[in-house]
Amino acid sequence: MTRTIAREIAVHLIYEQGFGERTAAQTLELALNEENFRQLAGEEPLYKEFPDEAQRAYIQELVTGVYDHCPELDDYISHYSIGWSFSRIPRVAVAVMRAAMYEVLYMPDVPNASAIDAAVEIAKKYESPEVVSFINGILGSFVRDEFPAKESEPAGNGEQAQP
């Protein structure tokens, strides 16, 4: 399983969180087990492989982090959704943006561009092109406005190439 698949599974769980009263820990306990993956594998190829320990840790961090920071993430989404009320934004789009914004804010090992690119790719599977563009625009504005110094940094690890 790749990080891309683990991220998409996390987005599924973040989306699911929006409909119930379960905590992140309860959602993860119900979802991140081999029996659940076996049941879902027939309906959704995403679940054909059970995540290894590192992938489970990543999924858990993302789902728990979004749950813990949901009001903050939703404030960012609302702030950058100019002309849209939060309630009009499709729930899948909200889940995708929450995950990407959490990665940008709290997971320094995930480059901002990777978080946005991954969010857009996930959104393409579930949303119309217009909503995908909306997501891309919001996430791009969020990163440009909230992290202006990072935008001007060179790609890579920040070290200058040696002659």
Please report, for the domain that includes residue 51, its CATH number: 1.10.940.10
| Domain presence at residue 162 | no
What is the model's pTM?
A: 0.88
Domain count, the chain: 1
Q: What is the mean pLDDT of residues 118-147?
A: 96
Ramachandran class of 158: left when φ > 0, alpha when ψ lies in -120 to 50, beta otherwise: left
Domain assignment present for residue 143? The answer is yes
Q: Specify if 141 maps to a domain.
A: yes
Checking if the pLDDT of 68 tops 90, the result is: yes
Q: Domain span at residue 112?
A: 3-149
**Residue 71 within any structural domain of the chain:** yes
In a domain, 124, yes or no: yes
Q: Residue 110 in contact with residue 62, Cβ under 8 Å?
A: no
pLDDT-based confidence at residue 18 (cuts at 50, 70, 90): confident
Residue 156 lies inside a defined structural domain of this protein: no
Is the residue at 109 inside a domain?
Answer: yes
Angle at 104 between CA 61 and CA 125, to 5 degrees: 80
pLDDT-based confidence at 21, cuts 50/70/90?
confident
